[in-house]
Structure 1
Amino acid sequence: MNRNGGSLNSTDVFKNRPAIIICEAGCGTSHPLSDYLKAKGFIVNCIPESNQAIDAIITCVPDIVLLDFHLPGAGGYEVCSTIRPYFSGPILLQGQDAAETAQLLAFERGADDYIVMPVSEELMTARICAHLRRGHRLVGKVGERQIRVGELVVDEARRMVSLADHSIEMTSMQFDLLCYLVKRSGRVVSREELYEALYKEKYNGFDRSVDVYVSRIRHQLGDDAEKPNYLKTVRGVGYLLVEHEGSAR
């Protein structure tokens, strides 16, 4: 929506207020989350149909996207995988399926977070704001700094990752987690520390999204979970980014 409640368009550059596109079947009627976000200062475009949402996300480039698992037309997973090559911002996928397989599939399709419903408008907004804060804090802050661990290179300024000179595409959440570990290579980092660094909130003791991200990153690096070359699990403690000869931080 524009600042007066009209349609979102590519000329509204979201200069001062964060813009979100919500794709959910219920958007055609009263939508409490949309109303709550607007009251908090967001520019909101609520779209009930998947193909229309894909066009709007690619054309308008909002700050963040929220997709529902159950959508008319293409489902949330398919929308996520379609827009990911064209949209670098956070993609949150919401659904009622709390199974680990459902969450893993969301991350594999390019989502930055999977939120098990139902949650309150207040908590959902807090999660959205946490993703936005992290993105604004990290992008463009570090200059041209690169961190190298063996053949793994993390470019903080460009938010790019390469391994043996081959580029690796990562979601914003995966990049943030890997960057955090790379800066602390040679030291075991607990799940609690990683969670609180990523989400900027106290770890609840149950959330396993960090484990899912680590598993996905390990797969992208071609690491064997049993004999990892880079990302090692220290059971009962956390994760270790293994130092290599010639590493530079």
Structure 2
Amino acid sequence: MYHVLIIDDDIALTQMLAEYLQQNGFTADVENSPVSAIAKVREQSFDVVLLDVMMPKLDGFETLKQIRTFSVVPVIMLTAKGEDYDRILGLELGADDYLAKPFNHRELLARMKALTRRLDDLSSFNQVQNLDFHGIKIEEASQRAMVGAHELDLTNTEFQLLTLLMRHVGHLLSKEKLSEDILGRRLSAFDRSLDMHVSNVRKKLSQQGIENVIKTMRGSGYIFKSKV
């Protein structure tokens, strides 16, 4: 059973959500205080974190910032307004996915299963590879991406995205395929999640002096270049 942590100050909602997830194959912990939740993520291992944006004293964005200083646990942001700004900011700060409130519980369950399915894929022997292009090394067994002696601080989603692109070096991967393989859902017209994850990967590579290795094919998808 996968272990999920729900961080939301709405006590009634979190109790109901925890019961629903427990009925569908998850072990669920609840923290209504973001400060306590951060400490809990430090102390325990979770497979997924559900993080509400609108909380008093410490909002979801600041909570995510603090979690990302020490953990790459997959995080799904729960945004009350569902506005583009909230979604984009959450993804820029390292969220793996987002869902606007009020949400359909089945949709949330599908998003969570997509994240945990990728964890299963990583542990599969047939999936494990070592990749090395343009000074970037991928060690799938240990889930590490290296530039020289420096380990890239990638989220799970960013690691999976970079790995998939490098596995298909020199070949175009459509946005549709990347969305289904990485995010676990079909690409929709106004969903910028994939583009934001690519942008985050590029920024982190650029910080280590790696530029222009991921090419955008406008309207089609992305290519990890065989030559730079």
Larger deviation, residues 184-193 vs 79-88: 79-88
**By how many angstroms is 1:164 displaced?**
4.1
Rate the CA distance shift 1:134–1:115 in 2: closer, same or farther, 3 A: same
Rate the CA distance shift 1:239–1:143 in 2: closer, same or farther, 3 A: closer
Q: Does 1:184 align with 2:164?
A: no
Q: Does 1:24 align with 2:8?
A: yes
Aligned ranges 1:230-241 → 2 under 5 Å: 230-241=213-224
Q: How many residues align?
A: 225
Match among 54, 66, 71 for residue 87 of structure 1: 71
Paired residue type of 2:113: C
Identical-residue share of aligned pairs (%): 28
**By how many angstroms is 1:140 displaced?**
6.3
Paired residue type of 2:97: D
Alignment correspondent of 1:10: none
Rate the CA distance shift 1:89–1:103 in 2: closer, same or farther, 3 A: same
Q: Does 1:74 align with 2:58?
A: yes
- Tell me if the contact between 1:67 and 1:94 (Cα under 8 Å) persists in the aligned partners: yes
Alignment correspondent of 2:212: 229
Larger deviation, residues 125-134 vs 29-38: 29-38
Partner Cα separation in structure 1 for residue 122 and residue 166 of structure 2: 15
Partner Cα separation in structure 2 for residue 113 and residue 143 of structure 1: 23
Where do 5+ consecutive residues of structure 1 fail to align? 1-16
Aligned ranges 1:66-215 → 2 under 5 Å: 66-139=50-123, 141=125, 145-215=129-199
Q: Which has a greater percent of helix? A: 2
Match among 45, 52, 55 for residue 61 of structure 1: 45
Per-residue CA distance 1:171-211 (angstroms, 9 max, x = gap): 00000011110011101111111001113333334322111
Rate the CA distance shift 1:217–1:97 in 2: closer, same or farther, 3 A: farther
- Tell me if the contact between 1:24 and 1:68 (Cα under 8 Å) persists in the aligned partners: yes
Query: Secondary structure of the equivalent of 1:45?
Result: strand
Paired residue type of 1:233: T
Rate the CA distance shift 1:204–1:147 in 2: closer, same or farther, 3 A: same
Larger radius of gyration: 1
Rate the CA distance shift 1:190–1:99 in 2: closer, same or farther, 3 A: same
Larger deviation, residues 140-149 vs 104-113: 140-149
Query: What TM-score results when the alignment is normalised by the length of structure 2?
Result: 0.89
Q: Does 1:220 align with 2:204?
A: yes
**By how many angstroms is 1:113 displaced?**
1.3
**By how many angstroms is 1:92 displaced?**
1.2
- Tell me if the contact between 2:91 and 2:193 (Cα under 8 Å) persists in the aligned partners: no
Partner Cα separation in structure 1 for residue 95 and residue 148 of structure 2: 26
- Tell me if the contact between 2:31 and 2:37 (Cα under 8 Å) persists in the aligned partners: yes
**By how many angstroms is 1:116 displaced?**
2.3
Per-residue CA distance 1:146-177 (angstroms, 9 max, x = gap): 20111121111111112244321100000001
Rate the CA distance shift 1:31–1:80 in 2: closer, same or farther, 3 A: same
Q: Does 1:243 align with 2:226?
A: yes
Per-residue CA distance 1:12-67 (angstroms, 9 max, x = gap): xxxxx211110111125674322211211321112211111112222122221110
Query: Secondary structure of the equivalent of 2:38?
Result: helix
Query: What TM-score results when the alignment is normalised by the length of structure 1?
Result: 0.82
Where do 5+ consecutive residues of structure 2 fail to align? none
CA RMSD across the alignment: 2.2
